[in-house]
Amino acid sequence: MPYDIGVDVGAVSVNCAVLDADGHVVHEAPYVRHFGQASRVAHSVISQTMSLFDRGDIRSVSFTGSRGERMARRLGAPHEVETIAQATAAVHMAPGVRSIIAIGGQDAALLQIDYDASGAWRLESFAMNGPCASGTGSFIDQQAERLALSMYGGAFRMDQDKLDQVLADFVALGEQSAYPAHVACRCTVFTKSDMIHLQNKGETLPNIIAGLHHGTAANFISTMLAGRTLHDPVIFIGGPAGNSLMRKAFRRYFPGLATPPHHASLGAVGAALCTRLAGRANTLDPAVLADNRTAPEEEFARAPRLALSRSHFDADTTLPEIPDTQGDPIPAWLGVDIGSTSTKYALVDAGGRLLHKNYVPTRGKPIEVVRELLSGLTAALAGRIALVGVATTGSGRNVAGDFLDADLIVDEITAHARGAVAIDPGIDTIFEIGGQDSKYIAIENGRPTDFVMNKICAAGTGSFLHELANKLGINIVGEFQDVALGAKNPVALAERCTVFMESDLAAHAQKGAARDDLIAGLCYAIVHNYLHRVVENRHVGKRIMFLGGPSLNKGIVAAFENVLDRPILAPKNREVMGAYGVSLMVRDAFLRGEKKTRPRDIGELAATEVGFKETICRADPACGNECKLKVYRFGGRKSVWGGDCGRYEARVSDLPAETDYFALRDDIFRRHLQAAGNGHTRPNAPAVGLPMALHSLEWAVFWTTLLTRLGYRVAPSAKTSRTTVTAGVESMTAETCFPVKVFHGHVKGLLDAADFLFLPTVVNIPSPAAEEKGLFCPMVQSSRYLVAAALDIPPERIIGPTLLLANGPKALAHAVGSALPSGHRPTAATIHGAVRAAFAAQNAFQADLRQVGRSLLDLLPEDEPLWIVSGRPYNLHDERLSLGLGRLAARLGIKTVPLDLLDVSATPLHRFPRMYWGLGSRILRAAAATAETRNRFGVHLGNFSCGPDSFLEHFYSHIMGDKPYLLLELDEHSAAAGMITRMEAFANVVRENMRLSAMSDKPRREAAP
Instruction: Kindly write down the DSSP assignment for every residue of 839-852, as one continuous string.
Output: HHHHHHHHHHHHHH
Residue 268: what pLDDT? 96
Phi, psi angle pair for 797, to nearest 5°: -90, -5
Structure confidence by residue, pLDDT tens digits, 191-226: 776 777 777 767 888 999 999 999 889 888 877 886
End of a domain among 570, 596, 631? 570
Q: Which residues are 761's β-sheet partners?
A: 802
Distance CA 988, CA 367 (A): 27
Distance CA 438, CA 412 (A): 11
Establish if 547 belongs to a structural domain: yes
Q: For residue 20, name the pLDDT band (cuts at 50, 70, 90).
A: very high
Residue 460: pLDDT over 70: no
Residue 653: what pLDDT? 53
Residue 1007: what pLDDT? 47
What mean pLDDT value characterizes the chain?
86
- The dihedral region occupied by 272, where left means phi > 0, alpha psi between -120 and 50, and beta the remainder, is alpha
Residue 299: pLDDT over 80: no
Residue 378 vs residues 260, 348, 385, 685: alpha-carbon distances, Å: 56, 15, 9, 74
Residue 521, amino acid:
G
Establish if 616 belongs to a structural domain: no
Q: Is 994 exposed, middle or buried (0-12, 13-18, 19+ CB in 10 A)?
A: middle
Distance CA 130, CA 188 (A): 14
160 plus 231 within the same structural domain:
yes
734 plus 838 within the same structural domain:
yes
Residue 132: what pLDDT? 61
Residue 167: pLDDT over 50: yes
Which of 160-174, 493-507, 524-538, 771-785 is the most confident on average? 771-785
Establish if 344 belongs to a structural domain: yes
Considering only CA atoms, which of 849, 732, 394 is closest in space to residue 582? Answer: 394
Residue 890: what pLDDT? 92
Say which residue, 845 or 308, is predicted with more confidence. 845
Residue 187: pLDDT over 60: yes
| Section 180-198 average pLDDT | 74
Parallel/antiparallel/unpaired status of strands 756-758 and 798-799:
parallel
Considering only CA atoms, which of 644, 657, 658 is closest in space to residue 972? Answer: 644
Q: What share of the chain has pLDDT > 90, as a percent?
A: 47
Q: For residue 152, name the pLDDT band (cuts at 50, 70, 90).
A: low
Q: For residue 656, name the pLDDT band (cuts at 50, 70, 90).
A: confident
Residue 1006: what pLDDT? 46
Specify the number of domains making up the chain: 5
Which of 127-131, 296-300, 318-322, 585-589 is the most confident on average? 585-589
Q: 436, 192 in Cβ contact below 8 A? A: yes
Which of 389-398, 475-484, 660-669, 814-823 is the most confident on average? 660-669
Structure confidence by residue, pLDDT tens digits, 397-420: 888 888 888 999 999 899 999 999
Residue 297: what pLDDT? 54
Tell me how far apart the terminal alpha carbons of the chain are, to the nearest angstrom.
Answer: 108
Residue 640 vs residues 637, 653, 751: alpha-carbon distances, Å: 10, 17, 37
728-761: b (≥16 Cβ within 10 Å) or e: bbbbbbebbbbbbbbbbbbbbbbeeebbbbbbbb
Say which residue, 156 or 549, is predicted with more confidence. 549
Say which residue, 693 or 617, is predicted with more confidence. 693
Residue 492: what pLDDT? 84
Q: Which residues contact 98 (CB under 8 A, 6 or more apart)?
A: 112, 113, 114, 230, 231, 232, 233, 234
Q: Structure pTM?
A: 0.76
Residue 650: pLDDT over 90: no
Distance CA 410, CA 335 (A): 10
Say which residue, 633 or 553, is predicted with more confidence. 553
Element (H, E) at 1002: helix 977-1007
Establish if 951 belongs to a structural domain: no
CATH number of residue 585's parent domain: 3.30.420.40
Structure confidence by residue, pLDDT tens digits, 848-899: 999 999 999 999 998 999 999 999 999 999 999 998 999 999 988 999 999 9
Q: Which residues are 357's β-sheet partners?
A: 346
Distance CA 101, CA 85 (A): 14
Say which residue, 712 or 105, is predicted with more confidence. 712
Establish if 890 belongs to a structural domain: no
Give the number of residues written for the chain: 1009
725 plus 829 within the same structural domain:
yes
65 plus 169 within the same structural domain:
no
Residue 292: pLDDT over 80: no
822 plus 701 within the same structural domain:
yes
End of a domain among 848, 878, 907? 848
Domain range for 596 is 312-424+576-607
Residue 634: what pLDDT? 76
Residue 667: what pLDDT? 95
Report the number of secondary-structure helices (H) and strands (E) in the chain: 35, 33
170 plus 26 within the same structural domain:
no
Distance CA 703, CA 698 (A): 10
Residue 505: what pLDDT? 74
758 plus 801 within the same structural domain:
yes
277 plus 317 within the same structural domain:
no
Residue 619: pLDDT over 80: no
Residue 327: pLDDT over 90: no
Q: What share of the chain has pLDDT > 70, as a percent?
A: 89
Residue 434: what pLDDT? 75
Structure confidence by residue, pLDDT tens digits, 571-600: 999 889 999 999 999 999 999 998 888 888
341 plus 227 within the same structural domain:
no
| Section 752-761 average pLDDT | 95
Residue 363: what pLDDT? 75
Q: For residue 134, name the pLDDT band (cuts at 50, 70, 90).
A: low
Establish if 499 belongs to a structural domain: yes
Distance CA 396, CA 392 (A): 8
Establish if 619 belongs to a structural domain: no
Establish if 734 belongs to a structural domain: yes
506 plus 603 within the same structural domain:
no
Which of 10-14, 679-683, 895-899 is the most confident on average? 895-899
Residue 190: what pLDDT? 65
551 plus 587 within the same structural domain:
no
368 plus 403 within the same structural domain:
yes
Say which residue, 895 or 1001, is predicted with more confidence. 895
Of 82-86, 851-855, 972-976, the one with minimum mean pLDDT is: 972-976
